[in-house]
Amino acid sequence: MRRTQRLGLFWLLLSIGISIVWGIVLEHSPSGMADFKAIYYGAQCLIQHSDPYKEGNFLRVYRADGGTFPSETEDPVKARMFRRCVPVCINLPTALFIVSSFTILGWGVAHILWTLLFLGGFILAAILMWDLAGNHSPGLSLFLICIVLANSELIFGFGNIAGITLSLCLIAVWCFLKERFVLAGVLCLAVSLTLKPHDVGLVWLYFLLAGGIYRKRALQTLIVVAVISLPAILWVSHVAPHWIEELHSNLAVTSERGDLNDPGPASLSRPGPGIIDLQAVVSVFRDDPLIYKPVSYLICGALLAIWSITTLKSRFSQHGAWFALAAIAALSMLPVYHRQYDTKLLLLAVPACAMLWAEGGRIRWLALLVTTAGVVLTGDIPLAILTLITNHLHMSTAGIWEQMATVVLMRPAPLVLLAMSIFYLWMYVRRSTFDTGSGLNRATATRIEPGTELG
């Protein structure tokens, strides 16, 4: 076992090394560390008692620290994207509050420490997921995790806050389900929620709905979130009294037709490879937010309702928890704006896939196909290749067949995430019937040895 663990750790480090090398290359490009610059200089605005949600204030602080923009003459598209990504603050006050401590160090030290922090967190999260999944199928789980780690270049190159957010969430899940270091798990999940709640909020919701000791963990997390949020909101409200309206305006501006976060075909960032929510698919058929938003909410809302009812009605089991988390990890990406950074949450699907593979039967091949497609088609390298290919395609969307071809060839990520959601939700509903009839109640879950099937 020790030899297997050493070999597995070697492959994990090798895989993350691929992302680090490519990330360093991206970091030294004109748009390198753009996402971290956006939140770092927003936090620095607060330190200087300046409203970070006003672009003029942001630019003043950014330029005073020697900040520059990519040249319009060399690459006008990237220059426009950088100007929409960096000076327009769309981060929550709680995220700015947490990152404000980095501004004391200065940009040079801060961005290195930031990178090291989520590098360490990401490696730890991957090891913990392998620890859980490896009990069922160590080889398969290692294979899937390595795919995810080797396709995380953009997180390192752009310093997106999702790297830390998702790592903390994964660590918290391990702590809760293993019943080890639970207070650290509560803190990790709380910080994760304050950074990007739309990434990990549904994971927190699972523990709330699961009942018993897990509901207690969710409520403890909520208390810590409130403790962090109160001083953050008071501080930001003092510096920027109208921050709610300004934040809403910034979000609306960047999501307008043709702008950076527009999920439609006219987006500045051409969202086929990058934006991975369901709106990017529906918008191909009808590029109207009054259409593609409600349709996405309806589809995802129906799946979420089934998932929530199943969680409330079924009795807790370790295996059931993994199916629930696998389903919600994929579903979390679909209703609203998400990019490929956020899909690293799919590491939560690895234990469920490993369990199905270990059980044997025909269903294990379907689990392998769906999960592998999910981690591959949302990975940075495949999506970069897809971008290079589709940049030279001029596909018409005039007819239904052309629209379907556009979706399949240029925007496969939302489709595979939807397939993962439906597959693991189906497995969760099927297994919940067995768990419900097992005679165990939620309160007994904490008295069972962690990692033991309760069904």
Q: Tokens 């934040």 identify what position? A: 247
Q: How far apart are CA 326 and CA 333, in angstroms?
A: 12
**Which pLDDT band holds residue 272 (cuts at 50, 70, 90)?**
very low
Q: Decide which of 71 and 160 is more confident.
A: 160
The answer to the question of residue 453 being in a domain is no
pLDDT, tens digit, 9 for 90 and up, residues 344-400? 999 999 999 999 999 988 899 999 999 999 999 999 888 888 877 777 666 666 678
The answer to the question of residue 109 being in a domain is yes
Q: Give the whole-number percent of the chain exceeding pLDDT 70.
A: 88
Q: How far apart are CA 103 and CA 101, in angstroms?
A: 5
pLDDT, tens digit, 9 for 90 and up, residues 61-94? 988 888 777 765 555 656 666 666 677 788 999 9
Q: Give the chain's domain count.
A: 1
Query: What is the pLDDT, as a whole number, of residue 436?
Result: 52
The answer to the question of residue 263 being in a domain is yes
The answer to the question of residue 454 being in a domain is no
Residues with Cβ within 8 Å of residue 268, at least 6 apart in sequence: 77, 80, 81, 84, 258, 259, 260, 262
Q: How far apart are CA 331 and CA 272, in angstroms?
A: 18
**Which pLDDT band holds residue 274 (cuts at 50, 70, 90)?**
confident
Query: What is the pLDDT, as a whole number, of residue 79?
Result: 62
SS3 labels along 59-121: HHHHHHCCCCCCCCCCCHHHHHHHHHHCCCCCCCHHHHHHHHHHHHHCHHHHHHHHHHHHHHH
pLDDT, tens digit, 9 for 90 and up, residues 140-157? 999 999 999 999 988 888
Least-confidence region, from 193-207, 266-280, 376-390: 266-280
Query: What is the pLDDT, as a whole number, of residue 268?
Result: 66
**Which pLDDT band holds residue 263 (cuts at 50, 70, 90)?**
confident
How far lies 202's CA from each of 199, 205, 329, 366, in Å?
Answer: 8, 5, 8, 25
Is residue 205's pLDDT more than 60?
Answer: yes
DSSP label at 74? T
Query: What is the pLDDT, as a whole number, of residue 447?
Result: 36
The answer to the question of residue 452 being in a domain is no
- Average pLDDT (188-195) is 97
Q: Decide which of 75 and 293 is more confident.
A: 293
Q: How far apart are CA 11 and CA 142, in angstroms?
A: 8
Query: What is the pLDDT, as a whole number, of residue 84?
Result: 63
Query: What is the pLDDT, as a whole number, of residue 446?
Result: 38
- Average pLDDT (314-333) is 93
Query: Within 10 A of 283 (CB to CB), how many other CB atoms are there?
Result: 29
Query: What is the pLDDT, as a whole number, of residue 238?
Result: 95
- Among 51, 112, 111, residue whose Cα is nearest residue 87: 51
The answer to the question of residue 455 being in a domain is no
* Domain containing residue 199: 2-447
